[in-house]
A and B are shown apart, each in its own frame.
Chain A
Amino acid sequence: MAASNPSVFLLSVNGQIEGADFPSYDNLYCKYCYVYGQDWIPTTGLEEGITQITCKGSQASHKLIWNFPLDVTFKSTNPSGWPQLVVSVYGPDVFGNDVVRGYGATHIPITPGQHTRTMAMFVPEPTWRLQKFTSWLMGRRPEYTDPKVVAQGEGREVTRVCSQGFVTVCFSIMMKDLKKLGYDSGPANPQSHAASSWSTEDQSNF
């Protein structure tokens, strides 16, 4: 296509799932995937992935570090259905069963540049107290039928959730031709973002 007259725009997402802050859990890993609208097509990169299991550091902050790289490029014709990153965190419970520790979603930033996002993570709550107990006992906590549920608004009113912790993700966003198609996603502000202090902070604390 002619560069002057594009029919699609490209969104390149680089970044990493830096880590999480789950005060009461350890040995967690996370899965991620993207949820995007019908007019979006991922062109390159992994659409979903699963990180290593990480343990809490001995530092004061007790953060879980994954530093799992994200690299994906989308192509789209329509900003509606802007991709969202959906992260679900899993880890073993007392009995060693893998249970879900949190779901979270965030939109890919819509402006080019460096961004850091902290997602609050939550899990669905059991319907009854007794169920809470049995689910704990049997290691079968309630889960979403699909982690992508957290990226959509429909039907959420029937669930009850409990917040768990935070996952921090940093993005470097690049875009092509969005402006040419007539969409102004705001000023690109490369200086406004301080570099993520996530990993460095730990070192300094240490």
Chain B
Amino acid sequence: MASPSDIREKLRKKRRAFQETLVPTKHDDEQALVASASVSEEAPPATMEQEPQSSHEDPAETLRRSLKAQRQMRKKKLLEESPALRSPAEGVEDISKVAEDEGSTKRTAAGSLTGPKSRGPHQFERFVTRRLEEKLRAARSQGQSLQLQELGEVAVSRLQSLRDRHTLTRFHSEDQDGTFQVPQDISTRVTFQDAARLVGERERPTTVEAYNFFTSNFDPEPEERSESTSKTSVQKKSAESCDDSREEAEEGGEEEHEEHNEEAPLMQDEDGNVFVIQQTSKDFLETTKAEYIGLRALALRRGGLLYTPSSQRVPTSVKLPENVTPRYLEEEGFYVGQRPPVTSTNENILENRMLKMEEGLKWFGDDGRIIALPDPIKESSSRPPLFHVEEDLDPALQTVFKKPMKCGHTHQAYIAGAADCEGDYQLDVDVSGLIFSHHPLFSREHVQGARLAQLYDQYLDRQRNKLAEHLTDKLNGLRNTMRNMLEIHSEQSLSPAMQQRIVEYGVEIKNTRQLRDSEQEKDRALLKSLVKVWKEIKSLREFQKFTNTPYKLCLRRENVDRLTDEQEYEKEVLAEVWELEAEEDVDYQRKLAEYKKQLDQWKTWRRKQKSQKKQKKMKKKKKGQPQEETEEDENDPDANESDGAVDDGPPKPEPPEKLDFDAIEQQVREKASRIRRKPGEAILIPEMSASGKISAADLCPKGEMARREDVAKRCVFIKVLYNDKEVSQTNSRTLNSDFKVHFGQIFNLKIVNCPKSITLQVFEEVASSCSLLAQVYVPVPGSSVVAGSAPMEEFEFSSKQRVMFDHEGVGSDVPLSFVADGSNRVVLLTSGKVSCCVSWGVGEDDLPLAPPVSQILGSVLGGHPEAAAHIGPSGLADMKKIGEWAAQSRLDPNDPRNTSIMQLLKVASSGEVTAADYFRLEQLQEEFNFVSDEDLDRSRRFRLLVLRSQEVPEFRNYKCVPAQEREVTDKVFKEYEKRLKDGEIIDTKEHLDSHRALVAKYLQKIREAVIHRFLLAKHHYLLSDLVVEEEMPSIGILGLNLFHLAEPKRPLKPQRKERKKVTAQNLSDGDIKLLVNILRAYDIPVRRPPSSKAAQTSQGGMQAGDWLLGQVQVRPFVEVSFQRNVLQTTTADGPNPCWNEELQLPFSAPNGDYSIASLQSLKDEVFINVFDEVLHEIGVTDEEKGKSVHTRLEKHWLGSVKIPFSTIYSQCRIDGTFKVNTPAVLLGYSKERSHGNNGAYDNLRSLCEGAFITLFITIEPQLLPGESIREKIKELKLDSQEDEGLLQASERFERLAASEFPGRVCTTTVIDLNGKTVFISRYLRPLNPPQELLDAFPDNPAAAAAQVARFVSLIPSLPDRVSFAAICDLWSTCDQFLTLLAGDEEEHAVLLCNYFLFLGKKAWLIIGNAIPEGCSAYVLTQEESVYYMWNPSSGHYYGQYDTFCPLQAVGCLVSAGNVWLNIQEQVSPMRINFDVSRSHCWKPFFTGSFPHSSLTSVQPEQLVYRRSDRTTAVELQDRIERTLRDKIMSWRPHRPTRWNRHCTTALKHFLPSLELGGGGGRDAGEGHRHELQSMLGDNRISGFPLNMPFSEMAPIVEAVYSTGVHTTHSPNVEFALAVYVHPYPNNVLSVWVYLASLVRP
């Protein structure tokens, strides 16, 4: 029985099920009854448990429970008696019988009220009790009403109660005691069990009641009723006879139990049945009259509609068009795949059907079969495995695990046909025995014995073969023949053929004799060793005083006739001697002949030599005659000969030795005595027997006894493995003292797999542990090897196991010595022989049970197309094996799968396969070359394509490469080739000297290298390059956004907003505009009132009026030129004008290439020029009507700002106030402002103070800057010589800076010109500036500093700094910098800083952001707690609190010893503290925990300067002047350009003083003007000097052009141009261009 909780659970379930079933069938009596009946089945266990409490419970219930208990007890018996009762569908008789039994039992049980008790948990009892009581109450109230009702109605009420708690209704009825309520239970479909139990549960009804019940209205099934009636009658009977009531009760109980067992299925069945019947019978079926259609009519009707294709085979002729013979593609050599398998019946049906169809024939192929593609089913699954970890799989896709099933013989390796009749093939493995030739347990004697046995075996073997005798016979025969030949033919009449034969015979005899000799020697040696071993054994036995082996060797002596023996011996020796002599003679003759030949040669050579010598002498006499050539030719050998005549010529041959016949005989005799028995000596025949006695164990010493015991413990058995699977094993046999094991077992293996290997494993068993000794591989027998006829074979085995014993056993793999002194050691391994025999069994009909050969091979090879699987990798290399395999497996040569193999075979069979001794990766490359490499190189079109894909600048954007070769003209390459050529030729015209040209070339190379690296990096993408993604909003940003909500819509001071960035790729010309917003300017120089009278009159009245008003007038406007597009602002008034104008300049990229790379390398600059608009009155036409004043507008250049486009591009926007580069002297203009001077530096400062202009420049739309490229370059790991720890620290430092202070530039490592990473502070070291500069101001350090700064600023910035600055920063050392004379801000700054350090200043390098350069480097100096920042590329310096300092942000400071990161809140130099010792302001790189590791500087110790070269400077000066003059004239094509010589010479004089004055000054300007004025009188002069470092000619020209001096329209204008080049050391040149225009009034 189940546990109570289980039962409870069951009960509940059942009840629920019942309620469900009952609800829909409420009104149906029968239904309910059945249900109630089955419910009652569940009650028993529950009630039974309740038994212990019965005493104080409802009596009816107690009664019922006792009954139940009784039933429980009876169960078994009934089960035995009537197993058939299990079925509810049993016959009626059974039911009645059981009902009767039940009835009687009930009575008795009710009387006694005692029953077997069983215990159950109280909890459950209580639960059930409570439930029962409730139900009971309900039932009782019902029952009272029921009493009044008629019987038919009883059923209904009962049904209701049943719905709640079916079990209880019975108690209720019991409670009513006498009310007969059973009937409905037994009605209609009640199974006999139900009926029986129900009856049994109740008081037996009275007869009247019973009668009433059975006769009243049970309408639906009269049959059942009759049954019931009969039952009742039986009941009546049984009521009287209650003798065996107990027994019967038990029967009932038995039934109960059965029911319980069957409960679940029964219930369901019943419910289901009930439903179906219920519905079909009542609700759905409609009965109509059956309709009959005659069979024939039906067939007729169907005949019209149906077609049944026959499954007969369709003849081919029908399937093909008429008069067409089937064509089999396969036979024609085409590859026809395997058709998918279809049964022939189905195919026939299909074919028949198709033939009936319209156009049915099109389904048939040429061969008359249905067209079919090859079998599409793949052998391996192509579906990817499903990996769903998170989500549950769709139940339909869930993996279903099935138990492994034994399947048929599907494996390829099975032998076909074996499956049909199992055991058709039988392999007999006969393992007969095992002999150890060595075993660890061998004693020494055993070892020797084994050796003896082995030797004896050998001896016997040799005896059998009788090789020596055989060879002797052969030798004798040969000798006889030879002799006969020689005798028969007298020597003179020997024909050449005969001679040849004799020679051959001689050789044959010689070989045979040698062979025989060696055989005889072996025989004799064997015999000797046999005897020796035997003697050893004997001595060993004597020594150890016991015998372990039965071996015995007898030497049988066979006496010989001494005389004949001696004769024969002598004869033999003589014959041999004779032969040897003959051979030697022949040899001698040959050698002699050779000697003679050599001697002849030598002699001739000697003669020649002598004659040559003579000749030489003669020649010497002839000297002077024109025969030098020949003389020379011969001279050499002559000279050689005179030195080494002996070396060179053939050596004088030695004559061969004469033969010594005695020695030969001696040799022969020695040999004969060694290998042959002596004449007259008896022949010894050894005979070994195993008949000796082994000493008994008790006679042996202890060690030997232990050994023997050990031997006795050992068992040996053999396992038989077939195809690496163990199939059986022999019995284990103990080892004998002779170490021979006999098994004699035959295993008959019935095989289904084709045999691959048969292995015997020898196991040794000691006690219970067994170990594998060795494996013996037995070959699979051929099919002709049949049991019975197969001989026993011996297979040797050996094991490498190392075994050692402490007793007499010698062990295995242990050195062993038989000699007393321990020398002569041998190592013996366990070894032995297994004798066994493997053969195919023989069937009853005497047929071998071997599979046919083809099948073995076929199943092995044909099944797999993979050759490698069967031949193995080693076999694959062997062409022959593959060939064999291919032939055997009958590969379909047309199957595409086999192409590679067939190709290989073809190669193999076509000729000898020469194994290449080299390895080629693309061995078919040559075959695929459709033209030769030369042709390819010659192809212009191909070249064009290659160049384009290499992104060579000329071809990078080459569109539409012509389709035909002939359309590509050489013109295309002209430019490119010219450039290539130019690279080699130094262009001296553009450059000052060859040095500069070389430097330029070098720079070009570096640039190319950098660009190459850049191109590599360009193909290295980051996610941000491809995907635009919103930044992760941080809390700060969210907060900021909230803050934005509160912002005013139109703020008073609007901020510029970030715009969306556009990638440059999808842009075209005209899309991009450069926006220049010119806001205002400060401190524009103002016109100076003309000091002289003449000048004043020459100028307009307006100006004069202004002057009178006390206003210094200037009318500035700004002209922006970019890519030769010029735009200008309106004119404003005054020295501090405000324009606030936006100018839009179109931008077009070169070649329309808007890629980042090309934009970045764009060299165009934006020129922002400030002009003064001057109005000139050219004349007044004074007429009657009035005055009309003609004026002319002139623009005078005041200054300019240059901003490279690349800076704008990389910065996205340029916003700030810039210093306008004003010329040192502006004729006619002066600075208005003047400050009080305090201190030496302020003095200097006021000098260089100029005008400022506020600008905002950007590109519309905003282009994505190439910043990422720089990052990428960083990602590319560059090699470095720095310490790894330092590099990591610097990386950490930079990362920290980037994370905590975004936007702050922090550099700790830089890349030097070699592309290696270098720590930045290594660049700083005090370096000496040119001595000249120091000498210039020996006692004025400030002036010296300014001078040094000027020197540094005169080193030109790299003209193509773009490639260096933006793409990757390469830092050159100061000497490199001075050699290259080009570099960007960093190099300038480093050099300047080093100079300052040398001058004893406190100097640092500032890495920060400046305008317009962006990331840049400045130099910071400290002078008595005042900090100055120096712009290294301009030479200007700024105080810390200078408003116009272009340095905007300070990222970090670098000194020679450390790097400090700015960790202050502010970055602007004005607001920060430069005291690096403050730890809360500056974070040092090297701290106490990470000390400075004494980095050596990369800078040289000292800089060496070349003297300035004045001559080249003058030369350059002339050239610049000439060039500029030509240019200015060419810029004024339509007007004459006159040059004023006076002025020019005057200007020429000014220039050197300007240079000496360190950049000129205002006073100088005044002086110039006065001087000029005095010289040129009333000419209106405007002009200015331009100063710039010299790098190339082009920038100078460009600068001159941008001033616009040439644009003046005045007809009587004259120009003056003076150029001065001041040389500084090391070829640093300062170029001054003084331009002036003079207008004659």
Instruction: Give the complex CA separation of A54 and B1063 in angstroms.
Output: 30
Q: Smallest distance from the beta carbon of A128 to chain B beta carbons, Å?
A: 7
Known contacts A134-B1032, A148-B1066, A181 near B1027 by CB under 8 Å: no
Instruction: Give the complex CA separation of A89 and B959 in angstroms.
Output: 30
Chain B residues with CB under 8 Å of chain A are: 945, 948, 957-964, 967, 1019, 1021-1023, 1025-1030, 1032-1033, 1063, 1065-1066, 1264
Instruction: Give the complex CA separation of A181 and B945 in angstroms.
Output: 17
- Whether the Cβ atoms of A148 and B1026 lie closer than 8 Å is no
Known contacts A158-B1021, A159-B1023, A77 near B1028 by CB under 8 Å: no
Instruction: Give the complex CA separation of A180 and B289 in angstroms.
Output: 83
* Chain A residues with CB below 8 A from B967, complex form: 7
Segment at the B interface, from A61-69, A137-145, A162-170, A184-192: A137-145
Number of A-B contacts defined by CB within 8 Å:
90
* Chain A residues with CB below 8 A from B1022, complex form: 158
Known contacts A149-B1026, A159-B1027, A130 near B960 by CB under 8 Å: no
Instruction: Give the complex CA separation of A76 and B964 in angstroms.
Output: 12
Identify which of B948, B959, B960, B1025 contacts A145 (C-beta below 8 A): B1025
Residue among A78, A138, A181 with max Cβ neighbours from chain B (10 Å): A78
Identify which of A39, A77, A134, A145 contacts B1063 (C-beta below 8 A): A145
Residue among B960, B1026, B1029 with max Cβ neighbours from chain A (10 Å): B1026
Instruction: Give the complex CA separation of A143 and B1061 in angstroms.
Output: 13
- Whether the Cβ atoms of A156 and B961 lie closer than 8 Å is no
Say whether A9 faces chain B, with CB atoms less than 8 Å apart.
yes
Closest 6 CB pairs of A and B: A155-B1021, A77-B963, A142-B1029, A140-B1030, A124-B1027, A158-B1023
Given contacts A138-B1030, A159-B1027, 9 further A-B contacts (CB under 8 A): A6-B963, A39-B961, A40-B960, A124-B1029, A135-B1029, A135-B1030, A142-B1027, A145-B1026, A145-B1065
Instruction: Give the complex CA separation of A126 and B957 in angstroms.
Output: 34
Q: List 26 A-B contacts (CB under 8 A).
A: A6-B963, A7-B967, A8-B960, A38-B948, A39-B960, A40-B960, A41-B959, A78-B960, A80-B945, A131-B1029, A138-B1033, A140-B1030, A142-B1028, A142-B1029, A144-B1026, A145-B1025, A145-B1027, A145-B1264, A146-B1065, A146-B1066, A155-B1019, A156-B1026, A158-B1021, A158-B1025, A181-B963, A181-B964
Q: Smallest distance from the beta carbon of B950 to chain A beta carbons, Å?
A: 14
Say whether A127 faces chain B, with CB atoms less than 8 Å apart.
yes
Say whether A154 faces chain B, with CB atoms less than 8 Å apart.
yes
Known contacts A8-B963, A145-B1063, A38 near B1027 by CB under 8 Å: no
Identify which of B948, B960, B1027, B1264 contacts A77 (C-beta below 8 A): B960
* Chain B residues with CB below 8 A from A144, complex form: 1026-1028
- Whether the Cβ atoms of A38 and B958 lie closer than 8 Å is yes
* Chain A residues with CB below 8 A from B959, complex form: 38-39, 41
Residue among B945, B961, B1027 with max Cβ neighbours from chain A (10 Å): B1027
Instruction: Give the complex CA separation of A38 and B1152 in angstroms.
Output: 12
Identify which of A41, A77, A134, A143 contacts B962 (C-beta below 8 A): A77
* Chain B residues with CB below 8 A from A148, complex form: 1065-1066
Q: Smallest distance from the beta carbon of B1026 to chain A beta carbons, Å?
A: 5
- Whether the Cβ atoms of B1032 and A146 lie closer than 8 Å is no
* Chain A residues with CB below 8 A from B948, complex form: 38
Known contacts A146-B1066, A158-B1021, A127 near B961 by CB under 8 Å: no
- Whether the Cβ atoms of B1033 and A159 lie closer than 8 Å is no
* Chain B residues with CB below 8 A from A127, complex form: 1023, 1029
* Chain B residues with CB below 8 A from A9, complex form: 963
User: Chain A 50-84, CB within 8 Å of chain B: the 1/0 string?
Assistant: 00000000000000000000000000111010000
- Whether the Cβ atoms of B1029 and A77 lie closer than 8 Å is no
- Whether the Cβ atoms of A7 and B1065 lie closer than 8 Å is no
Identify which of A40, A134, A149 contacts B1030 (C-beta below 8 A): A134
* Closest residue on chain B to residue A48 by CB atoms: B1066
- Whether the Cβ atoms of B963 and A155 lie closer than 8 Å is no
* Closest residue on chain B to residue A142 by CB atoms: B1029
Q: Smallest distance from the beta carbon of B1272 to chain A beta carbons, Å?
A: 12
* Chain A residues with CB below 8 A from B1066, complex form: 146, 148
Chain A residues with CB under 8 Å of chain B are: 6-9, 38-41, 76-78, 80, 124, 126-128, 130-131, 134-135, 138, 140, 142-146, 148-149, 154-159, 181
Instruction: Give the complex CA separation of A144 and B1026 in angstroms.
Output: 5
- Whether the Cβ atoms of B960 and A146 lie closer than 8 Å is no
- Whether the Cβ atoms of B1032 and A131 lie closer than 8 Å is yes
- Whether the Cβ atoms of B964 and A7 lie closer than 8 Å is yes
* Chain A residues with CB below 8 A from B1028, complex form: 142-145
* Chain B residues with CB below 8 A from A135, complex form: 1029-1030
- Whether the Cβ atoms of B1021 and A78 lie closer than 8 Å is no
Instruction: Give the complex CA separation of A137 and B780 in angstroms.
Output: 76
* Closest residue on chain B to residue A8 by CB atoms: B963
- Whether the Cβ atoms of A154 and B1027 lie closer than 8 Å is no
Q: Smallest distance from the beta carbon of A13 to chain B beta carbons, Å?
A: 19
* Chain B residues with CB below 8 A from A77, complex form: 960-963
* Chain A residues with CB below 8 A from B1030, complex form: 131, 134-135, 138, 140, 142
Known contacts A131-B1032, A145-B1063, A146-B1063, A41 near B1027 by CB under 8 Å: no
* Chain A residues with CB below 8 A from B1026, complex form: 124, 144-145, 149, 155-156, 158-159
Instruction: Give the complex CA separation of A146 and B1065 in angstroms.
Output: 8
- Whether the Cβ atoms of B1025 and A155 lie closer than 8 Å is yes
* Chain B residues with CB below 8 A from A8, complex form: 960, 963
- Whether the Cβ atoms of B960 and A38 lie closer than 8 Å is yes
- Whether the Cβ atoms of B963 and A7 lie closer than 8 Å is yes
Q: Smallest distance from the beta carbon of B1017 to chain A beta carbons, Å?
A: 12
- Whether the Cβ atoms of B962 and A7 lie closer than 8 Å is yes
* Closest residue on chain B to residue A5 by CB atoms: B964
* Chain B residues with CB below 8 A from A159, complex form: 1023, 1026-1027
Q: Smallest distance from the beta carbon of B129 to chain A beta carbons, Å?
A: 60
Instruction: Give the complex CA separation of A145 and B1066 in angstroms.
Output: 10
Q: Smallest distance from the beta carbon of B966 to chain A beta carbons, Å?
A: 9
- Whether the Cβ atoms of B1021 and A154 lie closer than 8 Å is yes
- Whether the Cβ atoms of B963 and A78 lie closer than 8 Å is yes
Instruction: Give the complex CA separation of A8 and B1026 in angstroms.
Output: 34
Instruction: Give the complex CA separation of A142 and B256 in angstroms.
Output: 74
* Closest residue on chain A to residue B1025 by CB atoms: A155
Known contacts A146-B1066, A158-B1022, A159-B1023, A41 near B960 by CB under 8 Å: yes
* Chain B residues with CB below 8 A from A124, complex form: 1026-1027, 1029
* Closest residue on chain A to residue B1023 by CB atoms: A158
* Chain B residues with CB below 8 A from A131, complex form: 1029-1030, 1032
* Closest residue on chain A to residue B1066 by CB atoms: A146
Q: Smallest distance from the beta carbon of B214 to chain A beta carbons, Å?
A: 65
Q: Smallest distance from the beta carbon of A40 to chain B beta carbons, Å?
A: 8
* Chain A residues with CB below 8 A from B1019, complex form: 154-155
* Chain B residues with CB below 8 A from A157, complex form: 1021
Q: Smallest distance from the beta carbon of A157 to chain B beta carbons, Å?
A: 8
* Closest residue on chain A to residue B1030 by CB atoms: A140
* Chain A residues with CB below 8 A from B1033, complex form: 134, 138
Identify which of B945, B960, B1021 contacts A76 (C-beta below 8 A): B960
* Chain B residues with CB below 8 A from A76, complex form: 960
* Closest residue on chain A to residue B1065 by CB atoms: A146
Instruction: Give the complex CA separation of A142 and B1023 in angstroms.
Output: 11
* Chain B residues with CB below 8 A from A142, complex form: 1027-1030
Q: Smallest distance from the beta carbon of B1493 to chain A beta carbons, Å?
A: 38
Instruction: Give the complex CA separation of A134 and B1029 in angstroms.
Output: 11
Instruction: Give the complex CA separation of A154 and B1025 in angstroms.
Output: 11
Instruction: Give the complex CA separation of A3 and B739 in angstroms.
Output: 100
* Closest residue on chain B to residue A135 by CB atoms: B1030
Instruction: Give the complex CA separation of A155 and B945 in angstroms.
Output: 23
Instruction: Give the complex CA separation of A40 and B963 in angstroms.
Output: 11
Q: Smallest distance from the beta carbon of B730 to chain A beta carbons, Å?
A: 65
Q: Smallest distance from the beta carbon of A84 to chain B beta carbons, Å?
A: 15
* Chain B residues with CB below 8 A from A7, complex form: 962-964, 967
Q: Smallest distance from the beta carbon of B1338 to chain A beta carbons, Å?
A: 61
* Chain A residues with CB below 8 A from B1065, complex form: 145-146, 148
